[in-house]
Amino acid sequence: MQKEAAHEAQQISVVLARALWQRRRRTIALLAVLGALLVMGFYTVTDAQRLATSLPLNGADWAGYALCHRLPGHSLTINGRQLPLCARCTGMYLGAAVALGVLGLSGRLRRADLPPWPVLLLLVSLIGMMGIDGLNSFSHFLPNGPRLYEPRNWLRLVTGMGTGVAMGLILAPAVAQTLWRAPEFTPVLGGLRELADLLVLALVVILLALSNQPAILYVLSLVSTAGLMAIVIALNTVVLLIATRRDGRATRWRETAVPLALGLLLAIIELGAISYARFSLTGTMTGFPGL
């Protein structure tokens, strides 16, 4: 009995050690990518021509143009160059990227249950705050519309961030249930304390965006576009697997490569087609004619 218990304890320790190493490796990889983007940002933003012709930013413009109004007055800028997404959408997809990134680094992307009700109610309230701010902002386009307060880009960014965090935490369990044969039926967040920690991280990202540092804004603009792509890929993958009745089959991450790659391909086609159609109709990549 003692030998069996010792052997079982040894196996558990090995599994835990592997999990900790994988988590550390993912964290190092993420930091390396962000560091490389920051160096690229310093190189790009110091020259007006490089900033204007930046391939990553131009590609992000086309992705953002499909789902965002991109009104110049509602957007943050990098040395005068408009970000790929407006302030609200930048916050929203940054929030989604932060939420999905935290779930990935903590090994929770197989978790298939929504957060507890107190957390869900708070997430819904965050979405409601963005709705109120959005309606107030839209009312300023109407000559006699009701106006609660003067819209501000920092408010758009903050309320968008809250909604993005909610999007990530709600969408992740749906994807887990669709992808995995044996998902972990555990909430993606354990309670309000974990949500508070996540919101503190989101606040740090907001402060970085509002610092108006060009290289940091360069990185955050690409991360927000990555968040947009992640949301569209996830939705495409869920719909594709359910439509083809191939949901709930993956047992290892390598088995998710094909459905996720198809979701990525569909996302590129969809966003490219919408952006091309919109540009053909409006003739502009920023906002709408007359606004």
Q: What is the 3-state secondary structure (H, E, C) of 198-221?
A: HHHHHHHHHHHHHCCCHHHHHHHH
What are the respective helix, strand and coil percentages of the chain, to the nearest 5?
Answer: 75, 5, 20
> Is 267 part of a structural domain of the chain?
yes
Domain extent, residue 147, equals 2-282
> Is 105 part of a structural domain of the chain?
yes
Cα–Cα dist 141/175, whole Å: 38
Cα–Cα dist 23/36, whole Å: 20
Give the model's pLDDT for residue 14.
41
> Is 264 part of a structural domain of the chain?
yes
What percentage of the chain carries pLDDT values higher than 70? 91
> Is 288 part of a structural domain of the chain?
no
> Is 9 part of a structural domain of the chain?
yes
> Is 287 part of a structural domain of the chain?
no
> Is 291 part of a structural domain of the chain?
no
Residue 6 pLDDT more than 70?
A: no
Q: What is the pLDDT of residues 43-73, one digit of tens each?
A: 999 998 999 999 999 999 999 999 999 999 9
Give the model's pLDDT for residue 1.
53
Q: What is the pLDDT of residues 257-269, one digit of tens each?
A: 999 999 999 999 9
Q: What is the pLDDT of residues 162-218, one digit of tens each?
A: 999 999 999 999 999 999 999 999 999 999 999 999 999 999 999 999 999 999 999
Distances from the Cα of 182 to the Cα of 80, 107, 159, 185, 258, angstroms:
49, 15, 35, 9, 18
Average pLDDT, the chain: 90
Residue 34 pLDDT more than 90?
A: no
Q: What is the pLDDT of residues 154-175, one digit of tens each?
A: 999 999 999 999 999 999 999 9
Structurally, the chain folds into a number of domains equal to 1
Give the model's pLDDT for residue 9.
44
Q: Is the pTM of this model over 0.75?
A: yes
> Is 181 part of a structural domain of the chain?
yes
Q: What is the pLDDT of residues 78-97, one digit of tens each?
A: 999 999 999 999 999 999 99
